Structure 1
């Protein structure tokens, strides 16, 4: 399962930002208080976009926004609970009030669920995971798409994880929700293509985020995951962020409806 921040044994490639022509663009990133979301918000801002930093944790959202502001970028921290439609609507409206519209959205927020087989999972836990991950992504898209259509087009990236492409043992709710995000992405890509709106899914493999490192603490999980990854290491959040930013950029102008693996070759 994917999550955000940290380092591993192998070095991470460095390079210029992949997002070009972002000046004047408005980007929204959910779950931007840490991990992949934070890295994505920073990536957009460094490329010149104004960024709405959305998270359920107001403190971490403010920290991300402050990082961007100190670097000379434009950012606004906004509280959101993606499982609550009124909260999503208010967060999107605040973004528009601040920046005048929306061009790009990365729907990254979600929750993990693991170490429980299906027959041992209470219904309320299953429903909560699906509500946050799948319904939450739906609600974000529901309120983002009209704004992109009003701008004459744009791009959305839904962060699904490798759990949206194949099974993760003992994570039935998480895998069901992430597969649902991939399906939702494909339908939206087809329905909104006539409006010049591209919708893609990003499917990171295990990523060295604070959440993942917290789960792995005191275990050999990271070493085991590295051992089954062809590139021999796990991803840094910045690598998933670069892929998300690229999918929004003009460099990916003919790409829509895909589920892009960022997994160091694991799917191969």
Structure 2
């Protein structure tokens, strides 16, 4: 019989936890027994999510931190404070990311390029730099990439480049820390119903939901992403590392 709480006793850190995929992941892993340190720039939404989790799963502990992942000192402080509060770190989910403005390479501003790369790629680097030192031997780190990080999305060059970079960084981190039994994997969602879908429609107002469904074949159920991340954080996936896992209905 499967363990209903396979993450019981584990402490998981996650960025981008206030809404969308992040909130769904936090709910999924909380239900499976993990205590959480949740970070996001959206403090009010984050606190509301933490309150919901604490009320719904009274057997876990939830800690929140207002965080801009582009600030390396702030990231270091969050990780150090999280470990001090819980006494250990067993897993991390680096989920913070932005879409950026939709444009072709020739039309993209340097400011837009820099903003997306700084959040999506440098932000993951800032997190890994501290997390890899602080995490327990045998721990697991999941970095959120995208199907755009595999095939490239022609209308989002900065986003696609940043998510390709997350995959490369994940593979390097996995190789560097394999001797400690630390696993690092990248998860690549397709277009998910929720916040990112709204962002795509905002930046590309000519595309309707139906257009996007034709482009991406089908929208990915958000729970599928959470289930994959939860699996990678648990003991059942101890032989999976340095891997890129697509959760996109076969699109990529």
* Global fold match (TM > 0.5): yes
Distance in 2 (alpha carbons) for counterparts of 1:91 and 1:240: 25
Shift of 1:18: 9.0
| Partner in structure 1 of residue 174 of structure 2 | 189
Distance in 2 (alpha carbons) for counterparts of 1:129 and 1:18: 39
In the alignment, which of 82, 97, 104 is matched to residue 110 of structure 1?
97
Deviation digits for residues 118-157 of structure 1 (CA, Å, limit 9, x no counterpart): 1111222211211111010001011111112xx2220000
Shift of 1:101: 1.5
| Partner in structure 2 of residue 254 of structure 1 | 239
| Partner in structure 1 of residue 43 of structure 2 | 58
| Partner in structure 2 of residue 202 of structure 1 | 187
1:85 and 2:62 matched: no
Distance in 1 (alpha carbons) for counterparts of 2:145 and 2:4: 21
Secondary structure in structure 2 of the residue aligned to 1:165: helix
What RMSD over aligned residues (CA atoms) do the two structures have, in Å? 1.9
1:94/1:265 CA distance change after superposition, 3 Å: same
Normalising by structure 2, report the TM-score. Answer: 0.92
> Of the two structures, which has the highest relative contact order with CA contacts closer than 8 Å and spacing of 6 or more?
1
Distance in 2 (alpha carbons) for counterparts of 1:215 and 1:120: 17
Q: Which runs of 5+ in 1 are unaligned?
A: 1-16
| Partner in structure 2 of residue 238 of structure 1 | 223
In the alignment, which of 86, 101, 113 is matched to residue 99 of structure 1?
86
Deviation digits for residues 38-61 of structure 1 (CA, Å, limit 9, x no counterpart): 111111111111101110111111
Normalising by structure 1, report the TM-score. Answer: 0.87
How does 1:4-153 map onto structure 2 within 5 Å?
Answer: 20-71=5-56, 72=58, 73-148=60-135, 151-153=136-138
Q: Is the 8 A contact 2:101 2:112 kept in 1?
A: no
Shift of 1:114: 3.9
Shift of 1:210: 2.3
Deviation digits for residues 63-102 of structure 1 (CA, Å, limit 9, x no counterpart): 1111111112321111110000011011112211221121
Shift of 1:260: 0.5
Q: Which runs of 5+ in 2 are unaligned?
A: none
- Kindly tell me the number of residue pairs found equivalent between the two proteins: 247
Superposition misfits of 4+ residues, deviation over 2 angstroms? 17-21, 213-222, 224-230
Q: Is the 8 A contact 1:51 1:76 kept in 2?
A: yes
